[in-house]
Amino acid sequence: MCETCGCGDPEIVPIEVQERILSDNDAQAAHNRSHFEALGLLAINLMGSPGAGKTAVLEASAKAAGGRLKLGAVSGDLATERDADRLNASGIVSATITTGSACHLDARLVHRALHDFPAGDRDIFFIENVGNLVCPAIYDLGQAANVVALSVTEGEDKPLKYPVMFQKADLVLLTKVDLIPHLDFDVAAVEDGLARVMPEARMLKVSAKTGEGIDAWLQWLEERRPAEGHRHEHSHGHHHEHH
């Protein structure tokens, strides 16, 4: 009988659940992670505001990496395929995940995109999330690391204003640093804000325009790539749900 509210109704029973509401997404993300690991791919969830320079950083990365790294990407976009077109033109094999009105990618959308994506020969797989500093942080996609692009034109206060996003970040890319001489932008203030919301605060200053910092960013990625010996043939023999 109901003991919680004391109404005494004998037919009301408490059912204990104690589970994450997004446990379905978590399970799908774990499945994606096993795909990425089997393929020996480093999967990066790249997040940031609209206009933070996510696509531009990837274009600059492709340019700097030359043929050294094989890059792939899927871009979450509400309505267009512009980002994927730009990335394909820069040499990154890319596809679009059209989200309609959804403000974030979830693990199921990424999984569906993976099925049509020639990821097998890629070294690094970028998941360029929908431009948004709130919602994408909540959904695990199966990535190895979360990277947040924050542009200098957005202001120093963003880490303290959007702590959930920055708390989940493994790396922050401070983008468009070539503009700093034209702005009243305090880099130390951003670093201080990050140290208060991001447990192992790590930030790299980059400019897609001048190429500054892009090598350090590629180095950061290289350090996280799975070791050669750990890669094995991708198999679809495991349990697989298609929606």
Partner 1 sequence: MHEYSIVASLIDRVQQEAAAHGGSRVHRLHVKIGELSGVEIDLLKTAFDTFRERTICDGAELAIDTVAPAWACPSCERAVERGAILRCDACGRPARMIQGDEIILQRIEMEAPNV
Q: Does 20 bind partner 1 (CB under 8 A)?
A: yes
Instruction: Find all residues with CB under 8 Å of 50, minimum gap 6, and list them.
Output: 131, 132
Cα-based angle 130, 133, 137 (whole degrees, multiple of 5) = 80
Following DSSP, what letter does each residue of 25-54 receive, concatenated?
A: HHHHHHHHHHHHHHHT-EEEEEEE-TTSSH
Member of 41, 149, 198, 221 binding partner 1 (CB under 8 A): 198
Phi/psi at 152 (5° precision): -65, -20
Member of 38, 64, 78, 135 binding partner 1 (CB under 8 A): 135
Q: Does 139 bind partner 1 (CB under 8 A)?
A: yes
Question: Tokens standing for 151?
Answer: 């542009």
Q: Does 134 bind partner 1 (CB under 8 A)?
A: yes
Member of 38, 64, 78, 102 binding partner 1 (CB under 8 A): 102
Question: Tokens standing for 60?
Answer: 């600059």
CA trace torsion 209, 43, 76, 32 (10° rounding) = 180
- The stretch among 17-25, 27-35, 178-186, 212-220 that binds partner 1 (CB under 8 A) is 17-25
Complex with partner 1: residue 183 or 195, whichever CB lies closer: 195
Question: Tokens standing for 12?
Answer: 């009301």
d(CA 220, CA 231): 20
Complex with partner 1: residue 24 or 157, whichever CB lies closer: 24
d(CA 99, CA 136): 12
Cα-based angle 236, 221, 36 (whole degrees, multiple of 5) = 5
Q: Does 4 bind partner 1 (CB under 8 A)?
A: yes
Complex with partner 1: residue 63 or 161, whichever CB lies closer: 161
Q: Does 216 bind partner 1 (CB under 8 A)?
A: no
d(CA 168, CA 48): 12
* Total residues in contact with partner 1, by rule CB under 8 A: 40
Complex with partner 1: residue 30 or 134, whichever CB lies closer: 134
- The stretch among 67-75, 97-105, 118-126, 211-219 that binds partner 1 (CB under 8 A) is 97-105
Q: Does 164 bind partner 1 (CB under 8 A)?
A: yes
Q: Does 22 bind partner 1 (CB under 8 A)?
A: yes
Q: Does 104 bind partner 1 (CB under 8 A)?
A: yes
Member of 6, 15, 237, 243 binding partner 1 (CB under 8 A): 15
User: Minimum CB separation from partner 1 for residue 200, in Å?
Assistant: 5
The SS3 assignment for 77 reads strand
d(CA 174, CA 40): 28
Interface residues with partner 1 (CB under 8 A) are 2, 4-5, 9, 11-25, 102-104, 106, 134-135, 137-139, 163-165, 167, 192, 195-201
